[in-house]
Amino acid sequence: MRPRVPPVKIKKAGKDVDDSWRVLLANVRTPRHNYGDFRALIAAIDLGERRMIDLVRKHGVERFRETVGDLLDYSERRMRAEIAKIPDGR
């Protein structure tokens, strides 16, 4: 099944793309509720972006990249350990 609304920008250069919002909200049952949900998601992403920029400014790009790499390595080790616990079978 194909999505009804193709991927489109709902914001461009920090401003709403009104036509995209109209199409998006025209394709949901409860546009007022969905609009609020979308706004909450956008606010959370914006906050996350600001916090990540603050971390980079505080600790430097190299330290940030190193820490992200360490987190990825750790999560891979943990996932492999959990997968290894799954018994063989089909």
Name the residue ranges covered by the structural domains of the chain. 11-84
Are 25 and 34 spatial neighbours (Cβ–Cβ below 8 Å)?
Answer: yes
pTM of the model: 0.72
Q: How far is it, in rounded angstroms, from Cα 79 to Cα 86? A: 11
Please list the pLDDT of the chain residue by residue as tens digits (90 residues): 666 778 899 999 989 999 999 999 998 999 999 999 999 999 999 999 999 999 999 999 999 999 999 999 999 999 999 999 999 987
Which residue shows structure tokens 């109209």? 22
Are 18 and 10 spatial neighbours (Cβ–Cβ below 8 Å)?
Answer: no
Where b means 16+ CB within 10 Å and e means fewer, 35-64 reads: eeebeeeeeeeeeeeeeeeeeeeeeeeeee
